[in-house]
């Protein structure tokens, strides 16, 4: 239904699309190639694959919209935790897990990591009880569970809830850098532009708590060689982390301390 916002946004979209076609003297063949790409993205997509989002991501659009939407988070140390794109691999209803549990089932060869920290109110510094961390990451083969027939359903995902002290801890894997799926239109765009499909190693989070603005974000491994060169432009300085060696824990070789800071509405 028409609203002032819809009218304004569509008028602007049409203006920019027409200007784009005029400026570049887009031909019928070129336009049809674009239409075919959109149709192909649609045909490839289902609940395991979101090619439309991937296409937007290689064009930098999700990253830009993230920045516009959450511009209050300015990537400064005294601000709430900076946001980053959701990406196409989040799934709702990840299993709830107890503190100290692992996200990992059936993967022996990974770099098991103990991640821990506190969720606080960024203004008062007080710990937030009952904050939920929804976590997801890839296996050492670079695949999320829904891309990989060899993983159990909902592997490498979990929802953890902080206690009174705002603290959380769990085991996961130190992630690996990996190519975004490039067998479709998003990959085609990368090829046409001589760009690589690699994302630096990262772990995804949605942190939510009653009364606080949810934080959609990712943290990135400083040692990854693609850290300055993310195919979907999501890296921000304050989200780069250091994995530390962990001694005396048979369950993990690495340790990752990270605190989340939330803002009220
Ligand atoms: C994209 C984001 C991810 O987090 C990921 O793992 C793969 C692709 C993306 O934005 O396209
Ligand atoms: Fe990802």
pLDDT in tens, 17-76: 999 999 999 999 999 999 999 999 999 999 889 999 999 999 999 999 999 988 754 555
Neighbours of ion ligand 2 (CB under 5 A): 87
Ligand 1 centroid to residue 151 C-alpha, Å: 19
What are the CA-CA distances from residue 91 to residues 11, 52, 134, 256 (Å)? 34, 16, 10, 24
Using DSSP bridges, classify how beta strands 178-179 and 244-245 pair: parallel, antiparallel or unpaired: unpaired
> 199 in ligand 1 pocket by Cβ < 6 Å?
yes
Ligand 2 centroid to residue 137 C-alpha, Å: 6
| pLDDT value of position 95 | 98
Chain-centre distance of CA 166, in angstroms? Answer: 23
pLDDT in tens, 210-256: 999 999 999 999 999 999 999 999 999 999 999 999 999 999 999 99
Q: What is the pTM of this model?
A: 0.92
Question: What number does the ligand 1 atom closest to the CA of 234 have?
Answer: 10
The closest ligand to the CA of 50 turns out to be: 1
Give, using CA atoms, the residue closest to atom 3 of ligand 1: 87
Give, using CA atoms, the residue closest to atom 11 of ligand 1: 54
Residue with tokens 């800071």: 261
Spatial separation of the C-alpha atoms in residues 41 and 51, rounded to whole Å: 5
Question: What number does the ligand 1 atom closest to the CA of 178 have?
Answer: 6
Tell me 117's DSSP state. Answer: E
> 232 in ligand 1 pocket by Cβ < 6 Å?
yes
> 89 in ligand 1 pocket by Cβ < 6 Å?
yes
Collapsing DSSP to helix, strand or coil, 34 comes out as helix
Contact between 182 and 119 (Cβ < 8 Å) = no
| pLDDT value of position 154 | 97
């Amino acid at each position: 239904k028409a609203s002032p916002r819809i009218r304004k946004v569509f008028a602007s979209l049409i203006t920019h699309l027409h200007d784009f076609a005029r400026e570049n003297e887009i031909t019928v063949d070129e336009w049809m190639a674009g239409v075919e790409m959109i149709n192909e993205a649609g045909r490839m997509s289902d609940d395991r694959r979101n090619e439309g989002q991937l296409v937007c991501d290689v064009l930098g659009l999700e990253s830009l919209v993230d920045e516009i939407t959450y511009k209050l988070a300015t990537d400064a140390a005294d601000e709430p935790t900076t946001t980053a794109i959701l990406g196409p691999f989040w799934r709702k209803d990840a299993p709830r897990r107890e503190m100290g549990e692992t996200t990992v089932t059936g993967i022996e060869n990974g770099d098991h990591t103990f991640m821990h920290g506190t969720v606080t109110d960024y203004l008062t510094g007080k710990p937030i009880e009952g904050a939920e961390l929804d976590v997801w990451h890839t296996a050492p083969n670079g695949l999320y569970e829904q891309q990989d027939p060899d993983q159990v359903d909902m592997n490498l995902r979990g929802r953890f809830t902080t206690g009174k002290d705002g603290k959380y801890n769990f085991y996961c894997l130190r992630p690996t850098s990996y190519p975004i799926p490039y067998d479709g239109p998003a990959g085609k765009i990368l090829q046409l532009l001589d760009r690589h499909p690699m994302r630096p190693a990262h772990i995804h989070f949605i942190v939510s708590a009653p009364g606080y603005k949810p934080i959609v974000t990712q943290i990135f491994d400083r040692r990854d060689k693609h850290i300055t060169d993310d195919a979907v432009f999501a890296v921000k300085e304050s989200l780069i982390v250091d994995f530390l060696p962990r001694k005396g824990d048979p369950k993990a070789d690495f340790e990752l301390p990270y605190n989340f800071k939330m803002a009220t509405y």
